[in-house]
Each structure stands twice: as structure tokens, then as C-alpha cells.
Amino acid sequence: MRRGLAATLMALTLLVAAPVTAPGAALTVRDMLGREVTLPRPPQRIVSLVPSVTEIIFALGAEARLVGRTDFCDYPAAALGKPSVGGMVNPNLETLVTLRPDLVFATDEGNREDTVRQLTRLGIAVYLVHANRIAETVDLIARVGALSERPADVARVSGEMLRRIDAVRKAVAPFPRRRVLYVLWPDPLIVPGRESMLTELIEVAGGVSITANDAEAYPRFSLETAVARAPEVIILADHSTGTSTAGRAAPEKWKRLTSVPAIQAGRLHSADLSILHRYGPRVPEGIETLARFIHPEAFP
């Protein structure tokens, strides 16, 4: 049933996102924030200011059209071969202009409004994206695929994605949902709320986030409340790199909370989970990781 729904979703978004009548013709589309974007022809020189979109472009095989990325676009490794225009918050406009893009992908969560305005003023088309749900991610893949004229790859990538997600759902379905506390940042304690995709991913992986109903995307949370809600699984996102220890998960701090079911059952996990913040073809990988933490018994 889910597969059918996904296919319908894809078809719909293809129809909505890409009224391409003939290859090479002018097109007007609406981006994911409802803005109208007009291009003389399908984009040939794309700059992506969004790491997730960069991933999607490579997954679709459209990287030939990608002429620029940000420093944070680090996956796949081949992306590092593309020229970078700087950070997400402060891309270098001069470098960007020199790349002569005909379309720039940007997001309202990570890029600055001012950058979008500057680019528009310079006559460069900007396509804004926004994805907080799996469905929106599928939509995004379809849109990028339509713009880069690779509809067949859309079907392949999305299909694979949805298949894997479905497989995880099936694997965890027999088991009762576990209450999950996901610690995005340890100190101050930041957790995923209602608006975050993590909440949905946890749900797909067979858990229920104890912070699922809290407002905003990434609210600050009180440790007391977290303990009081008695999570059965605690997942710590570890942000430390090789040299820096900032944002280290610090599991030993949590092991002292012996009243919490997760600690009693030994279900405290920490890992580098930056993959969960990309809304692209690696979403299933993230879900699989979560599912293994939440329901290890489902994956012998």
C-alpha cells in the first residue's frame, strides 16, 4: 500500500514540478517555497548552496551540470572536485558570479535571505528548497530531477529509497514502539521537535521520540523532563571530529541516570549521525542506523 502511495506521490510531483514541454524550451516553475522561478531553458550550470541538493544531484547522475558547491557539500567524495563558493551563510558572491550559474539552489534553513536577495538582484535565478519530511525529500528529488532533465533517474533513486524505507518498516513492525530520546546536542540539551525530520525518521525506525510534540524544529530541553519521560532508548549524536572534542557525546554523563529504562537496559548509543540531517538519497541509511539502535532484535 505504501509503495503505491509513493508512486502516486512521485507522479504528482513530477507533473507539478516540471512542465517541460520540449527539451531546451523556456520554463517557469514554482520552487518549494512557492516562488516563481523563470529560466530561459533547463539549467546547464547549477550552483548548489545546499549539501543535500548536492548529494541528490550526484545521485541522479546530473553532476555534469553542477559547477559550484559549498564547503559543507562533502558527499559524495566526488563533490569535493567541484569548485566551492565558501560557506552556506556567507558564500563568496564574486566566486559565485564567476562560475556563471543559470540556477542556484538555496534553502531557507541554512542560507541567508540576504544572499538570495543579492543573487536575485544580480539576475541569477534562485530555487529555494525546504524538506522536513520524507515525503518532501521525495518531492525534492523529483524537482531536482525534473530541472536537470533526468526523470528516469528520479524513478530509480526514489524507488530505491522508498524500498529500503519500506523494508525497515516491515522489519520493526512486529515490535512494540520504544520511547526514544534523541540528543542532538548534549550541553545545552537540544532535541528534535515537531518540525524536525528526525521525529519522523525515529517513527519509521520503530520508535517514538519523547520530544515529538515539542514546538519548533530543535528546541532546548530540560534534562529533568527528559528523565521524567523515561525513554527506553537514548541516542547521542556525536559531533566531535578527530581533533576537536566540542560536541562530544559524553555517554558517561548519561550512564549515571540509573532510573531511566534506557540506561537500565543498556540501550545508550552514540554515533556520528550527521547523515540524519541530510534530506537526500541517504535518508534510508540513517533510518537503518536508527532502527538498529532502537530494535536491535529486528536485525540479527
For 282, the grid coordinates are 541517504
**Cell output for 114:** 540576504
- Please state, in angstroms and rounded to a whole number, the distance separating the CA atoms of residues 294 and 300: 13
Would you say 109 or 160 has its CB closer to another protein?
A: 109
Residues 202-221 that bind another protein (CB under 8 A): 216-218
Q: Which of 49, 281, 19 is nearest to 165 (CA)?
A: 281
From 37-45, 53-61, 109-117, 227-235, span contacting another protein (CB under 8 A): 109-117
Dump the DSSP string for 84-151: B-B-SSSB-HHHHHHT--SEEEEETTTS-HHHHHHHHHTT--EEEE---SHHHHHHHHHHHHHHTT-H
Using the rule CB under 8 A, is 225 a contact of another protein?
A: no
List Cβ neighbours of 108 (8 Å cut-off, separation of 6 or more): 33, 128, 130
Binding residue for another protein, selected from 25, 33, 108, 297, defined by CB under 8 A: 108
Kindly state whether residue 272 participates in binding another protein, applying the rule CB under 8 A: no
C-beta of 124 vs 205, nearer to another protein: 124
| Per-position x/- string for 234-263, each x denoting binding to another protein as judged by CB under 8 A, each - no binding | ------------------------------
Least Å distance between CB 85 and another protein?
7
Quick one: how far is CA 153 from the chain centroid? 19
End-to-end CA distance of the chain: 27
* Residue from 16, 37, 61, 112 binding another protein (CB under 8 A): 112
- CB 96 to another protein: min, Å: 9
Closer residue to another protein, CB minimum distance, 76 or 120: 120
Q: Does 187 bind another protein (CB under 8 A)?
A: no
279: burial class by Cβ within 10 Å (0-12, 13-18, 19+)? Answer: buried
Residue 117 binds another protein (CB under 8 A): yes
Is residue 95 a contact point for another protein (CB under 8 A)? yes
Of the listed pieces 48-56, 87-95, 141-149, 264-272, which binds another protein according to CB under 8 A?
87-95
Provide the grid cell at 235: 541516542
For the chain, give percent helix, strand, coil, nearest 5.
40, 15, 40
Q: Which of 122, 173, 230, 265 binds another protein (CB under 8 A)?
A: 122
- Identify which of residues 190 and 271 has a Cβ nearer to another protein in the complex: 190
> Per-residue DSSP letters for 189-253?
TB---TT-HHHHHHHHTTEEETTTTSSSSS-B--HHHHHHT--SEEEEE----SS--TT---HHH
Q: Grid coordinates representing 255? A: 550512564
**Site map (CB under 8 A) of another protein, residues 47-66, x = contact:** --------------------
292 binds another protein per the rule CB under 8 A: no
Beta carbon of residue 88, minimum distance to another protein (angstroms, whole number): 8
**Residue 32 near another protein by CB under 8 A:** no
Nearer to another protein, 90 or 264 (CB): 90
Which parts of this chain interact with another protein (CB under 8 A)? 71, 84-87, 89-90, 92-95, 97-98, 100, 108-110, 112-114, 117-118, 121-123, 216-218
